[in-house]
Structure 1
Amino acid sequence: MPGEKNLEKLIASMAPTLSDAEYVFGLVAIADYEQIALLQPRGTFREKEGVTVILEKEKADECHVAYSGVFKCITLSVHSSLDAVGLTAAVATKLTKSNISANVIAAYYHDHIFIKSLDADKALSVLNELVKKGL
């Protein structure tokens, strides 16, 4: 089933949910996928400098993965199309107006926004306001 492309429908039905877990972004310098699998990352992205891993803070501490910053994840529960235009911009703009940094990752079904843990509750409130009021 294809995802939603209509921006107004996406905003109205995005149903943001906040994770309980805390996440960090770390770097594995050598792309050893066996080692990466042991970290049980929520996500990865390969860059020329190494593999960025997004994993639970507890696992990073346990495995001595260096990081800076601790985040919570807000998932936009709407099934958005990867071809949708404007959802990331609308969310980022709304959060920017509240001085909240956002690290957005689009996955196959949903968009996930990693917010500094201290700002997570405020960000959830801001996004719920966007749902209610729209663009």
Structure 2
Amino acid sequence: MLAETDLPTLLADLRPRLHGGAFCFVAAEDAAGLDAAASVREAEGWSWLVPVARAEAAGLPFDGRFRWITLEVHSALGAVGLTAAVATRLAAAGIAANVIAGRLHDHVLVPEARAEEAAALLEPAQPPGGQAIQSPSTASSGGAKAARLPPASSVGRTPPSSSPSAPRP
């Protein structure tokens, strides 16, 4: 299978998969026994993405509990705009997104408390009045190939019943 580079196609086929369990980032010299899922070498030392249970068992401090969403679409490492589109979509709902690129897929770590909402926001559903995640080129041309997603305000929230600026039926 060839990796996809076309942004509208990538967005239409994200297929977000929410993994079980909570993850965290820890600083340690090595990850022996931590069941590390990812790592990055920073100037200050190694950061490891590990299951929270492993970090707690090892007595390692960490900030935040995250859930892992894999975007199952086979995205090319050279694809332009996918990370920006996904992060912008989640940011519109006030959800932090920490993105890790793998060879075949992109992975998004989101706060544990909002993981279900984040995964739903990335589903390419087509509700009435849905908003699209669009590439800059499709946004200006009407977004013919853009994935339709529910408005951020409609996922996991009840919209206000009356607003001075909202049109009335």
Aligned position for 2:24: 24
| CA distance in 1 between partners of 2:77 and 2:59 (Å) | 34
Alignment pair present for 1:48 and 2:43: yes
Among 71, 90, 93, the residue aligned to 1:98: 93
Is the contact between residue 12 and residue 132 of structure 1 (CA under 8 Å) also seen in structure 2? no
Aligned position for 1:15: 15
| CA distance in 1 between partners of 2:78 and 2:32 (Å) | 29
Greater relative CO (CA pairs within 8 A, separation 6+): 1
Deviations 1:103-124 (A, max 9, x none): 0001101100000000101101
SS at match of 1:9: helix
SS at match of 2:31: helix
| CA distance in 1 between partners of 2:122 and 2:82 (Å) | 12
Aligned ranges 1:1-135 → 2 under 5 Å: 1-28=1-28, 30=29, 35-128=30-123, 131-133=124-126, 134=132, 135=134
- How many aligned residue pairs are there? 128
User: Gaps (5+ residues) in structure 1?
Assistant: none
Larger gyration radius, structure 1 or structure 2: 2
**AA at the equivalent of 1:58:** A
Is the contact between residue 75 and residue 111 of structure 1 (CA under 8 Å) also seen in structure 2? yes
> Percent same amino acid at aligned positions?
37
User: Gaps (5+ residues) in structure 2?
Assistant: 127-131, 135-169
| CA distance in 2 between partners of 1:38 and 1:58 (Å) | 11
SS at match of 2:78: coil
CA RMSD of aligned residues (A): 1.2
Structure with the larger helix share: 1
Quote how far apart the aligned CAs of 1:38 are: 2.3
Is the contact between residue 21 and residue 56 of structure 1 (CA under 8 Å) also seen in structure 2? yes
Quote how far apart the aligned CAs of 1:48 are: 1.2
Is the contact between residue 4 and residue 81 of structure 1 (CA under 8 Å) also seen in structure 2? yes
Quote how far apart the aligned CAs of 1:66 are: 1.1
Calculate the TM-score normalised by the size of structure 1.
0.90
**AA at the equivalent of 1:25:** F
SS at match of 2:63: coil
